[in-house]
Amino acid sequence: MTRHVVAIADLADEEIEEIFRRTERMEKALAAGETLGDAGGRIMATLFYEPSTRTRLSFEAAMWRLGGAVISAPDMKSSSAAKGETLADTMKVVSSYADLLVVRHFWDGAARVAAESASVPVINAGDGSHEHPTQTLCDLYTLRRAKGTLKGLTIAVGGDLKYGRTVHSLVRALARFGANIVVVPVRGMEFPAWLLQQLADEYDYQPTVARPDDLRALARDVHALYLTPAKPHQLTLFTDAEFDLEERLAHAEPITLDALYMTRQQRERQEATDDGVEYLKVDTDTFQDPSMRHTLLMHPLPRTGEIAAALDRDPRAIYFQQAAYGVPVRMALVAFLLEHHAAGARASQAVARGDGTIRIGPRCTNPNCITRREDVTSDTRFRLHRERAGAGHLVCLYCDHESRILVIGNRKSRHFHVYDEPMYGYLDGWLRDSALVIFDSVKQAEEAGYKPYKLGPQKAIMNAEEIDHSLDALTDAILADTPELNELVIIGIKTAGAYIAHRLTERIRDKRGAEVDFGVVDVHGGADGIRRWPGQADAEPVEVADRSIVLVDDVINSGWTVKDALAAIWRAGRPRAARLAVLIDRGHRQLPIKPTYVGKHLPTAAHERVRVRLRELDREHKDTVVIYSYVDPEA
């Protein structure tokens, strides 16, 4: 099986160490003017669908210095791609011309398609906003040369963390090697949810988030941030206890910031709404703070104004050395891959990504995923997220974005059902039996000729009057715990939770005569961050840092939805306190979450389902809560 480097996870830790040992040998050979023959008689093809200077030239220089040759297509817009040729077809053809392909593409997941299609090793030189593994090798090597180790370092990454592919690969590697990561995003350019979820699932890791108004205060902010829980998704926050960062900061031990890794604004990938955002900038004043006297300044380049040119003379600014390491590092990687390919080595996935795959599934929710742009050669597009499967989560095998399972069907019985946790046992069994089909919607299932499974009897357990009474009680309990309303933020989980949260804010206004800050978090629709209520779209973004948060949902079951919502809140800023309010607690928790406020405790069986019907969502019905069960699909 051909060996590829599509993601940084394709290289095990010991393999990265081997590449670094080779890099040291390459450096010495280059310094001595030695001729190397590691790639003698071999040809590299570089195919770049996006502009590149450092990456393409360093790869080509690396191949020449290894004694090989290069054929290059630096502008694929003038190739057969302009005629409509697919990426897969291009890779199949060019594989017969070269021994190694280096590919850069503007679509997320394109490198995976290239690797599936090529018969020779493929190196990902950047695919959309997904990953850039070879830049990460350069970054890690630079840090190790400068600091002697990676374990225990504290690295801050700042700037455009949403679209910047270099940092997406970098933080994965830093987590693996035991570094501490502090993220300093520009507002609206935070790490995407899929990446943070991957860090939590694969490495049990959650970066620290800093939002300093002045970068000079970053190192001091790190002292405080590391005093808070290591995992923002720790759900012990849902208690009566609050935490005072200022008091705890007074007893903090100083933490050294070893490096600040800045990135440029990825304007070519950003939405129009990102224009005009105030971007982070580093200048000589930034590095005058004594706490940063040993802090290295790094950048993958090119820079576009985020680092002042005056810093080029500062010995702590090592971004040009970082770029210079690109040639020996890529020489080492090329030699490593060619050697393993010649030996017939099997590809090794260094980090396990799960053992379940979906062969017929919905479209990826990422609009820039290649699976939405081209027909991929493999029909395996998703893996079932084993740790979160009960909550119905799929992960795209090409771009790593998560999707929620909405409708599942059985290929053999030709029936479908809207998915929720009681259906997980069937989902898992059908998956093993190759009978599972996943649809985007009920309409899609019906158009495919599938019929719905029947539901068991429904029983109303709360009427509109009882729901109103519970909402009044929730409002009173929240007010009793919130003496200062200006510090309160109500955040509803879309969809039903958001409408309940909106009703709570209206009740607070009626009781206290004051407006309460209100936002919505969407944990299933692929949107990152906390959004305003549709009627408040023109208002300022919701501020959660150092404020008291009440998270609201309609029904709590396993706890996964609440966990995801809380993680989104912590990405937006660190609240002083976080509480949870739910209309219904039906039990069957998979995570240790205890709601602070509950409208009604409702013991249920595992196969039963609770649905909250609200007039805002179903105008033909009054508010009601119903409980029902499934008719066994296997019966």
Rounded (10°) angle between helices 193-203 and 165-176 = 20
CA dihedral 594, 596, 597, 601 (to 10 degrees): 20
105-151 pLDDT, tens digit per residue, is: 999 999 999 999 999 999 999 999 999 999 999 999 999 999 999 99
User: Hey, what CATH topology would domain 460-630 get?
Assistant: Rossmann fold (3.40.50)
Q: What is the CATH number of domain 8-129+328-342?
A: 3.40.50.1370
Mean pLDDT for 557-567 is: 82
Mean pLDDT for 81-98 is: 87
Residue 582 pLDDT > 60: yes
Task: Please tell me the predicted confidence (pLDDT) of residue 230.
Answer: 34
Q: Are 116 and 88 in contact (CB under 8 A)?
A: yes
Which comes out higher in pLDDT, residue 41 or 417?
41
Task: Please tell me the predicted confidence (pLDDT) of residue 449.
Answer: 82
- What are the φ and ψ backbone dihedral angles of 377, each rounded to 5 degrees? -70, -30
Residues pairing with 71 in the sheet: 45
Cβ count near 333 (within 10 Å): 24
Please state, in angstroms and rounded to a whole number, the distance separating the CA atoms of residues 173 and 19: 14
SS3 257: coil
Which comes out higher in pLDDT, residue 63 or 453?
63
Residue 559 pLDDT > 90: no
Q: What is the pTM of this model?
A: 0.75
Q: Are 145 and 124 in contact (CB under 8 A)?
A: no
CA dihedral 462, 466, 468, 471 (to 10 degrees): -80
3-state per-residue secondary structure call for 157-211: EEECCCCCHHHHHHHHHHHHCCCEEEEEECCCCCCCHHHHHHHHHHHCCCCEECC
Task: Please tell me the predicted confidence (pLDDT) of residue 361.
Answer: 53
Task: Please tell me the predicted confidence (pLDDT) of residue 234.
Answer: 34
- Superfamily for the 134-324 domain: Aspartate/ornithine carbamoyltransferase (3.40.50.1370)
Mean pLDDT for 548-556 is: 94
Mean pLDDT for 30-37 is: 91
Q: Are 137 and 242 in contact (CB under 8 A)?
A: no
Task: Please choose, from the candidates 468, 467, 568, 583, the residue with its C-alpha nearest in 3D space to the C-alpha of residue 520.
Answer: 568
Cβ count near 300 (within 10 Å): 25
- What are the φ and ψ backbone dihedral angles of 178, each rounded to 5 degrees? 85, 25
Only one residue has tokens 């509950």, namely 598
Instruction: For residue 532, count CB atoms less than 10 angstroms from its CB and return exposed for 0-12, middle for 13-18, buried for 19 or more.
Output: middle
Q: Are 219 and 289 in contact (CB under 8 A)?
A: yes
Task: Please tell me the predicted confidence (pLDDT) of residue 351.
Answer: 35
Residue 548 pLDDT > 80: yes
Mean pLDDT for 176-183 is: 90
Q: Are 184 and 210 in contact (CB under 8 A)?
A: yes
Cβ count near 483 (within 10 Å): 9
Q: Are 10 and 4 in contact (CB under 8 A)?
A: yes
Average pLDDT over the chain reads: 82
User: Which residues have C-beta within 8 Å of that of residue 79, sequence separation ≥ 6?
Assistant: 47, 73, 85, 90
Is 134-324 the same fold as 8-129+328-342?
yes
608-622 pLDDT, tens digit per residue, is: 878 899 999 877 779
| Confidence band, pLDDT 50/70/90 cuts, at residue 516 | very high
Residue 515 pLDDT > 80: yes
Mean pLDDT for 309-330 is: 95
SS3 375: coil
| Confidence band, pLDDT 50/70/90 cuts, at residue 344 | low
Q: Residue 383, by phi and psi: left (phi above 0), alpha (psi -120 to 50) or beta?
A: beta
Please state, in angstroms and rounded to a whole number, the distance separating the CA atoms of residues 566 and 582: 14
193-237 pLDDT, tens digit per residue, is: 788 888 887 888 878 777 655 555 565 555 444 333 333 333 333
Task: Please tell me the predicted confidence (pLDDT) of residue 273.
Answer: 47
454-492 pLDDT, tens digit per residue, is: 777 789 999 999 999 999 999 999 999 998 899 999 999
- The structure tokens listed for 488 are 């309160």
Domain spans of the chain, in order of start:
8-129+328-342, 134-324, 356-453, 460-630
Sheet holding 402-404, edge to edge: 356-358, 382-384, 393-396, 402-404
- The structure tokens listed for 138 are 């350069």
- The structure tokens listed for 565 are 């919502």
